[in-house]
Amino acid sequence: MATIEFWFDFGSPTTYLAHTQLPRIARETGATLVWRPMLLGGVFKATGNASPVTVPAKGRWMHQDLQRWARRWDVPFAFNPHFPINTLTLMRGATGLQMRQPQAVPGYLDAVFHAMWVRPRDLGDPAVLAEVLAGAGLDPAAFQALVADPEVKAALVAATEEAVARGVFGAPTVFVGDAMFFGQDRLDFVREAALSAG
C-alpha cells in the first residue's frame, strides 16, 4: 500500500486546496495519507525561498489562479485579508495534537483550514484562535499548554529540518515514496504515483 506524505503549513492557500483533495485521492488509490506539519517560514529561511506574494505581479496572478482551482474542485475559498498570519502556534498545535491527542487532529485541521481560507479570521489573534479551538471541541487553555511544551516545539523544529533535508522548499509538498511533488496543481501526478506504488 502506498503512503502519501503531505507536508503542510496552514498559512499556504494552495495547501488548503490540496487538503480538500488529498483525502479523496488516498481513498481512491488505497493509499495511506500521512499529515506532516512543518513551519513554512523555517523552510523559506533555510532554502532562500519566499512567498509568491512578495512578487507583486505573481501575487496578482496567484489570487486569480486560486479562484480557478477552487472552482475546478467546487470547494469554497476566500483569501484571508489578514494574510500573512504567523502560523508558529498553529503548526505547533498540529504537531502537539499528533503527539498527544491524535484523535483530535482531523477536527483541528478542518477547523483551522476553514478559519484560514473559507471564512477567514485572524488566527494570529489569541482570542479569535480560542473561539475556533472551542468550536472544534478543543480546550483553549490546554492547547496553549500543549504548544508551549518543549517537546512539541522541538518536534516541529525537527520536522521542518527533515523537510528541508528531503528537498522541500515550499508548501504544499507531497511525497509518494521518494518521489516529491510540489503544489496543488501536481495532484494528478500524486494519484499516478500512489497507484503505481500500490
Query: How confident is the model over 37-71, as pLDDT tens digits?
Result: 999 999 999 999 999 989 999 999 999 999 999 99
What is the DSSP-derived secondary structure letter of residue 185?
Answer: G
Q: Which of 12, 29, 87, 98 is catalytic?
A: 12
User: For the structural domain made of 3-197, what CATH number should be given?
Assistant: 3.40.30.10
Q: Are strands 3-8 and 173-176 parallel, antiparallel or unpaired?
A: antiparallel
pLDDT digits (tens, 9 = 90+) for 85-108: 999 999 999 999 999 999 999 999
pLDDT digits (tens, 9 = 90+) for 107-158: 999 999 999 999 999 999 999 999 999 999 999 999 999 999 999 999 999 9
Domain residue limits, the chain: 3-197
Q: Which of 174, 193, 189 is nearest to 2 (CA)?
A: 193
If one counts every other C-beta atom within 10 angstroms of the C-beta of residue 64, the result is 8
Task: Compute the distance between CA of residue 113 and CA of residue 122 in angstroms, rounded to an integer.
Answer: 12
- pTM, 2 dp: 0.96
Instruction: Examine the residue annotation and report whether 12 is marked as an active-site residue of this protein.
Output: yes
What DSSP string describes 60-103?
Answer: HHHHHHHHHHHHHHT------TT-S---HHHHHHHHHHHHH-GG
Q: Which of 77, 94, 80 is nearest to 153 (CA)?
A: 94
Query: Are 183 and 21 a contacting pair, CB within 8 Å?
Result: no
Q: Which of 79, 105, 78 is nearest to 91 (CA)?
A: 105
Q: Which of 125, 116, 102 is nearest to 8 (CA)?
A: 116
Q: Which of 59, 31, 50, 138 is nearest to 94 (CA)?
A: 138
